[in-house]
A = this chain, B = another copy of it.
Amino acid sequence: MTATLPEAVTTARDLVTPALRTAVDRLAPRMSRVAGYHLGWLDEHGRPTGAGGGKALRPALALLSAQAAGSTPQRGVPAAVAVELVHNFSLLHDDIMDGDRERRHRPTAWTVFGTSSAILAGDSLLTLAEEILLEEGSQGAYWAARCLSAATQRLIAGQTADLEFEDRVDVSLDECVTMASDKTAALLACSCSIGAMLVNAPPRLAAGLAGFGAHLGLAFQLVDDLLGIWGAPEVTGKPVLSDLRTRKKSLPVVAALAAGAPASARLRELLHRPEPLTEEDLHEAAVAVEGAGGRTWVEEESARQLAAAEECLHQIDMPDHVRQEFLHIARYVTSRDR
């Protein structure tokens, strides 16, 4: 079965994209062009592509969080725009640092416009996110801006840790989970609560939604890391066994290395080989991750995190249709064929 994109996500895209474009159009022309290319609505010559941009997962969560507080999705739009801007700031900069040449089946911005333009476009989106919230001028916008800057700081700390792990042989599972919490879960937790904050929801509601988002974010990253090894290339857009090729210290790999099983030692030996890994080595490494229990741990942990996320949701008082849409998104983003 193929998971279908939740309606809340497509609705969010329709509602948020025009506001996002209006915001990006305010930037200096070159920044607006680089950002428009990165976001998918311009080609490399600045001509409209007719496409509407990314999946709008974070905007959808932000709009739902406004609705959870009894508001209309429309009132959550500035929050949705701001989280999407921060998310794309991080993608623009991460693609440079990771040397990634392709995203969403297109050449990454830095390969088209140069590193400097991609750095500056990221900087301008980060600044724009703050501007969009502060322009609202309400007490709720103030709390939303604080939530977003705290999440941004954790996102940066997570990316820093991720890069540090590349040079280390002794990454613990705890460190790896903390890294994923910072790099992925913090902005999802913010996305799930920022709309509520913007519309001045009681702190208890916003905190509950943030808890839901934090668990969801971890579950999301755990599944992402499973797909990084065992995902079908036609779904992930990446080669088979992708994260083993790059010897990434992803959660299944670190869990397997930490298990102390015979397969852990074999995996360590393979990953530390100086020469490039052959296809046979890669398959052996995948078998070793599985044999050391790395795959099972990640599958079980993602199920635990999803269950914890759902438990959070059920403890929050919100309109039932909003809860159902949150649940739908949670199950969609943690499914293997999202």
List chain B residues, Cβ under 8 A from A127. 126, 149, 152-153, 156
Q: How many identical chains are in the complex?
A: 2
Closest residue of chain B to A153, judged by CB? Answer: B127
Q: Does the CB pair A134–B145 fall under 8 Å?
A: yes
List chain B residues, Cβ under 8 A from A31. 156-157, 160
Q: Does the CB pair A130–B130 fall under 8 Å?
A: yes
Q: Does the CB pair B146–A119 fall under 8 Å?
A: no
Main SS at interface, chain A: helix
Give the one of A93, A116, A124, A159 with max B CB within 10 A: A116
Name the distance in Å between A29's Cβ and chain B's nearest Cβ.
Answer: 9
Name the distance in Å between A269's Cβ and chain B's nearest Cβ.
Answer: 28
List chain B residues, Cβ under 8 A from A131. 146, 149-150, 153
Interface size on A, residues (CB 8 A): 38
Task: Say yes or no for A28: interface residue by CB 8 A criterion.
Answer: yes
- Picked from B93, B117, B146, the residue with its CB within 8 Å of the CB of A163 is B117
- Picked from B120, B126, B160, B161, the residue with its CB within 8 Å of the CB of A160 is B120
A23 to B223 alpha-carbon distance, docked (Å): 36
A30 to B158 alpha-carbon distance, docked (Å): 11
Task: Say yes or no for A15: interface residue by CB 8 A criterion.
Answer: no
Q: Does the CB pair B163–A116 fall under 8 Å?
A: yes
Q: Does the CB pair A142–B150 fall under 8 Å?
A: no
Name the distance in Å between A90's Cβ and chain B's nearest Cβ.
Answer: 8
Task: Say yes or no for A169: interface residue by CB 8 A criterion.
Answer: no
List chain B residues, Cβ under 8 A from A89. 123
Q: Does the CB pair B117–A160 fall under 8 Å?
A: yes
List chain B residues, Cβ under 8 A from A142. 134, 137, 142
Q: Does the CB pair B128–A126 fall under 8 Å?
A: no
Q: Does the CB pair B149–A130 fall under 8 Å?
A: yes
A146 to B97 alpha-carbon distance, docked (Å): 30
Q: Does the CB pair B97–A116 fall under 8 Å?
A: yes
Task: Say yes or no for A236: interface residue by CB 8 A criterion.
Answer: no
Q: Give 24 A-B contacts (CB < 8 Å), ordered by A residue.
A: A27-B157, A28-B157, A28-B161, A31-B157, A89-B123, A93-B120, A97-B115, A97-B119, A97-B120, A120-B163, A123-B123, A123-B126, A124-B153, A126-B127, A127-B153, A127-B156, A128-B153, A130-B130, A130-B145, A131-B146, A131-B150, A131-B153, A134-B146, A135-B146
Chain A residues in the interface with B (C-beta under 8 A): 27-28, 30-31, 89, 93, 96-97, 115-117, 119-120, 122-124, 126-128, 130-131, 134-135, 137, 142, 145-146, 149-150, 152-153, 156-157, 159-161, 163-164
Q: Which 10 A-B pairs have the closest CB atoms?
A: A28-B157, A97-B116, A127-B152, A124-B156, A130-B149, A131-B149, A134-B146, A30-B160, A123-B156, A127-B153
